[in-house]
Amino acid sequence: MGKLSPRSFLKTLFGAPNAIAAVSGPAEAPAIEGSSRRMFLEGTAGAVTGAAVILATPKVASMLDAASQGSPSSEPKGVVTQPSGPAAREPVTAYVRNVERNEVTVMSGTREVTYRDPVLVKRLLDAAH
Amino acid sequence: MSSHREAPEISKDPVADNTDVYAFVSPDKPDTVTIITNYLPAEGPAGGPNFYEFGNDVLYSIYIDNDGDGLPEITYEFRFETKIANPNTFLYNTGPITGLGDPHWNKRQVFSVSRVDGGDGVEAQTSARHGHKRDHKQGRGRDKHKHGHGHGHGKKAKLLGSGLACPPCNIGPRSTPNYSTLAGAAVHSLPTGETVFAGQRNDPFFVDLGSIFDLADLRPFQNLHLIPTAAAPGVDTLETLNVHAIAIQIPISRLTADGSVPKNVTSAKAVLGIWGAASRRKVRITDAANDGHSEAGPWVQVSRLGNPLFNEVIVPLGLKDKWNARQPVHDKDFLANVQHPELAKLLPALYPKVFPNLEALKAPREDLVAIFLTGLPTGVVPGFQNNTGKVLADMLRLNVAIPPASSPNVLGVVGGDLAGYPNGRRVADDVTTIAIRAVAGITYPLVNKGFKPDAAASAVTQGITPGANRTQATFPYVATPHGGFDAPSATM
């Protein structure tokens, strides 16, 4: 090791560094109104993994019970599963903003839209139960 | 530093950054163990107007493993809440704070303490209070968790105390006169036998950061470095800085597996594995509409600490965040980093001809594996063991049958004091010097008596002698914090 110069010892010990992946940062998220949820999601660049977040008031427990009793039998129910891997870098995220008003906020990339969508809210509440 | 800002992610989240963990048989109450976990690294004492406080959105945990499986049988959980009396002033206090109930104290914190007792079962991750309930079994041998993410798993948590006052930060003689008395009132005795304190203290950890992270500039070999400099005394970088400490003193009988107070040093029941951790909720939604933020999801561990310097020095940069998120039971994944530590390769490179025997040592460092991951078995150091079995897990390992030392040696076991690090860790132990000397080879003869450590291995030192104000003789043992008015002084 005595032959190493001050500038070479790290390179000798560890070799050349690996490439460093770029990381994207957050940006402003304007509210968008008047578009459908399908349009909103279709407008998102690239394929991303969806993730749902339930964020509700303490009333949620009773709402959950009420929601589960009225669940339509025609739609397939979600199946509990183990995550298949890490979350996407920017997962599409939905959370119930206001249970009483059937408001759900969906975020994709830097965009955020709040819908009044009883069906989606109900499905999320079902999944949360 | 021990674990101050030691990993990329947690370095940006100081309120959740566990800087040090201490665990020792209380010198003035030897039937108890004191555990201290410090957060908020490098607090400037004059950090107003929003003086430092714990995170209200952070779950602080202290874990105890009393059967050697690298999983917690006992967890103490701490949650904090900030209360603002008058939101219409910018002042932290509107006059001198002379007591914990003083109306002049405008922004204060209280905390709760819970205890979770769990057996050797699979993790039952039930968070019904968050609208989320599921049984999550990961029954793959050692991968199973018991209650690793703590709070919110509900059924077994017992609230020991709530609304417990933290002291204010030490602001200065006008705002916090008689600070020691004020902080002393924030030591709380719980009905179940524990004593707790949470608040600002003088950071007892001492290290020459500027020197160590300038390519491992070590004393007394500065002139022998590959990039030599003149000899210079050590600089105690943290000398005038504070931290926030969570301290708990627990009867030993509340920690051992069978409720005993072991007296036999060789008994496996006498050894406790101890570490600290901080967790955040999985999702945080910042929303101007609700004037703050909302949170959802299970607790996710973002910081942990057992042995000082493990994540800091042993774990490579690309794995540090991952290490922080895991439980000790998974630390077998870092075995190679312990067996072949980077620092042991750096020392001979940075100090040519100073560590020739270390340079020639290519065998796995089983001495370091014992110190960090399993504990030392009986027969290695006369009169001592802190072995927890075969599970590789980074924890402080405290043999509670070893009484406190009457004349402590800051070098702990390597200095002949069996009550010091790596038998747990006392507040004044010089763990940096101990760790550097161990990595440099002085402990390798414990597993290979034919190895002769380099003379430099036992000579290396930080060159720092911390002031007596860094510790105190009684609980919480971490001393009165530096006041904002006085520190740093104009002469520093």
Q: How far apart are CA B437 and CA B309, in angstroms?
A: 13
Whether residues B283 and A64 touch (CB distance < 8 A) is answered with: no
Q: Is residue B143 part of a domain?
A: yes
C-beta separation of B383 from B418 below 8 A? yes
Q: How far apart are CA B485 and CA B380, in angstroms?
A: 50
Whether residues A53 and B283 touch (CB distance < 8 A) is answered with: yes
> Per residue in B180-203, pLDDT tens?
999 999 999 999 999 999 999 999
Assess whether pLDDT exceeds 60 at residue A19.
no
- pLDDT < 70 regions, chain B: 1, 119-155, 489-492
Whether residues A6 and B227 touch (CB distance < 8 A) is answered with: yes
Alpha helix locations (H) across B217-331? 320-325
Q: Is residue B450 part of a domain?
A: no
> Per residue in B422-471, pLDDT tens?
999 999 999 999 999 999 999 999 999 999 999 999 999 888 888 888 99
Q: How far apart are CA A45 and CA A43, in angstroms?
A: 6
Which one of B143, B283, B345, B354 makes the best mutation probe of the A interface by having the most chain A beta carbons within 10 Å? B283
Q: Does A127 touch chain B (CB under 8 A)?
A: no
Closest chain B residue to A5, measured at CA = B226
Where residue B318 falls (left for φ over 0; alpha for ψ -120 to 50; beta otherwise) is: alpha
Rounded to an integer, the average pLDDT of A11-16 is 50
Q: Is residue B159 part of a domain?
A: yes
Structure tokens at B401: 């049958």
User: For residue A95, which residues of chain B lie inside 8 Å, CB to CB?
Assistant: 283, 285, 296
Looking at the DSSP bridge assignments, the partners of residue B62 are B76, B276
C-beta separation of B19 from B1 below 8 A? yes
Task: Let me know how long chain B is.
Answer: 492
- On the 0-12 / 13-18 / 19+ scale of CB atoms within 10 A, B102 is middle
Percent with pLDDT over 70 in chain A: 43
Residue holding tokens 């090791």?
Answer: A1
> Per residue in A85-105, pLDDT tens?
988 989 999 999 999 999 999
Q: Is residue B449 part of a domain?
A: no
Residue B201 confidence (pLDDT): 98
Which one of A55, A106, A126 makes the best mutation probe of the B interface by having the most chain B beta carbons within 10 Å? A55
Closest chain A residue to B293, measured at CA = A55
Q: Is residue B218 part of a domain?
A: no
Structure tokens at B183: 């902080």
C-beta separation of A120 from A65 below 8 A? no
Residue B140 confidence (pLDDT): 32
Residue A62 confidence (pLDDT): 55
Give ipTM to 2 decimals: 0.75
Question: What is the DSSP code (8-state) at residue B50?
Answer: S
Q: How far apart are CA B153 and CA B139, in angstroms?
A: 17
Residue A31 confidence (pLDDT): 38
Residue A78 confidence (pLDDT): 85
Q: Is residue B467 part of a domain?
A: no
* Domain count along chain B: 1
Q: Is residue B352 part of a domain?
A: no
Which residues 35-74 of chain A have a CB within 8 Å of chain B? 53-56, 60-61, 64
Query: Taking each helix axis from N to C terminus, what angle separates A118-128 and A60-69, rounded to the nearest 10 degrees?
Result: 110
Assess whether pLDDT exceeds 50 at residue A33.
no
Structure tokens at B432: 């940096």
Q: Does A31 touch chain B (CB under 8 A)?
A: no
Residue A73 confidence (pLDDT): 55
Closest chain B residue to A12, measured at CA = B349
Assess whether pLDDT exceeds 90 at residue A54.
no
Least Cα separation, residue A13 to chain B (angstroms): 8
DSSP per-residue codes, A10-79: HHHHH-SPPPPPP--------B--S--HHHHHHTSSS---EEEE----TTHHHHHHHHHHT--TTSPPP-
* A4, A54, A61: residue with CB nearest B226: A4
Closest chain B residue to A106, measured at CA = B285
Q: Is residue B380 part of a domain?
A: no
Residue A74 confidence (pLDDT): 66
Contacts of B238 (CB under 8 A, 6+ apart): B1, B42, B203, B205, B206, B207, B209
Question: What is the DSSP code (8-state) at residue B293?
Answer: E
Query: What domain range includes position B262?
Result: 10-207+240-317
Where residue B378 falls (left for φ over 0; alpha for ψ -120 to 50; beta otherwise) is: beta
DSSP per-residue codes, B154-195: -TTEEEEEEEEEPPPP---TTTSSSHHHHHHTT-EE-TTS-E
Assess whether pLDDT exceeds 70 at residue A66.
no
C-beta separation of B208 from B237 below 8 A? yes
C-beta separation of B170 from B95 below 8 A? no
User: For residue A1, which residues of chain B lie inside 8 Å, CB to CB?
Assistant: 348-349, 352, 359
User: For residue B283, which residues of chain A lie inside 8 Å, CB to CB?
Assistant: 53, 55, 93, 95
**Count of other CB atoms within 10 angstroms of residue A88:** 13
Residue A46 confidence (pLDDT): 40
Q: Which of B387, B398, B380, B400 is nearest to B444 (CA)?
A: B380
C-beta separation of B135 from B127 below 8 A? no
Task: Give SS3 for B403.
Answer: coil
